[in-house]
A and B are shown apart, each in its own frame.
Chain A
Amino acid sequence: MDRRKRLLMDVLLIAVLLALTGILYFQYGKTDEAGTWAVVRVDGREVARYAMDQNGVYPLNGGTNVLAIDKGEAWIQEADCPDHVCMLMGKISMSGQVITCLPNLLTVTVEGGEQLVDMITG
């Protein structure tokens, strides 16, 4: 196959991957509503949820990570793991956003922009 055809196939494949990325972005990555809960999961099980509109500092998972919530933003303030990736992940506030601490199998997800409305109307 000549170079020109290969180049065309390359561009085509990259375009398909970009389109797929776009679809996934609108499906999972796009966040435009503030969440109501910071949901903490350890090993896949929900262990705690904290209201995003209440300021506070919460030790998680027996103290391996410390979650802080202030003015509708949640972040990990302290962690006992060596890499501190979860602390570097910064502040989350929008529904769907997530902070993970892989060494401790812990995730903090912002959830429930819509649920609040559902609770009020339903």
Chain B
Amino acid sequence: MKTKKVTVMALTIAVAMILSFVESQIPAFVAIPGVKMGLANIAVVFALYKLGWKEAAVVSLIRVFLVSLLFGTGATLFYSVAGAVLSLLGMIGLKATGLFSSVAVSVTGGVLHNVGQIGMACFLLGTDVLRYYLPFLMFSGILAGVVIGVLAAILVMRIKLEV
């Protein structure tokens, strides 16, 4: 792997971690756990379009591990990994079809991130009562995904980068 690519990946991970930190400082504005902007996904979508799918997966997973270590509490890692993996699979798959823009890709990522987290929570709790949250979290994932997708599209367009 070229040195430049490694450097850009490291920078992207750093940006993703900063975005996660900024987001962790925003107080929860609804009484539904898991509703958030997913700012760090800007970095993942950026990596997906500028660097490639493997690189995006590496950026996403390393971010999740580091952020859980730094700011997480106990089981956070399980939920985050489940969300990140499902979201990555969906985004990579959707992008590979070539039919959609980064907005649809990011929306799918946002929704699947929340679905993955709820799925993991249901698994750990041993009950599916959390399905009550599913529609609310999917809706918030769609809204957040549109915003993140537009932001990522602007970055992908504006940042000239040869790797």
Contact = CB atoms under 8 A, between A and B. Distances in A.
Interface string A11-27: 00110011011101101
Interface residues of A, number: 39
B161 interface: no
Contacts of A25: 135-136, 139
B134 interface: yes
B139 A21 contact: yes
A89 B31 contact: yes
Interface of B: 28, 31-33, 73-75, 79, 98-101, 103-104, 107-108, 111, 121, 124-127, 129-136, 138-139, 142, 146
A9 B127 contact: no
A18 B124 CA distance: 27
Contacts of B108: 13, 17
A10 interface: yes
B124 A98 contact: no
A105 to B, nearest CB: 6
A109 B33 CA distance: 15
A102 B75 contact: yes
Given A14-B104, A89-B33, A41 B75 contact: no
Contacts of B126: 41, 43-45, 105
A61 interface: no
B146 to A, nearest CB: 7
Nearest to A89: B31
A17 B73 contact: no
A113 interface: no
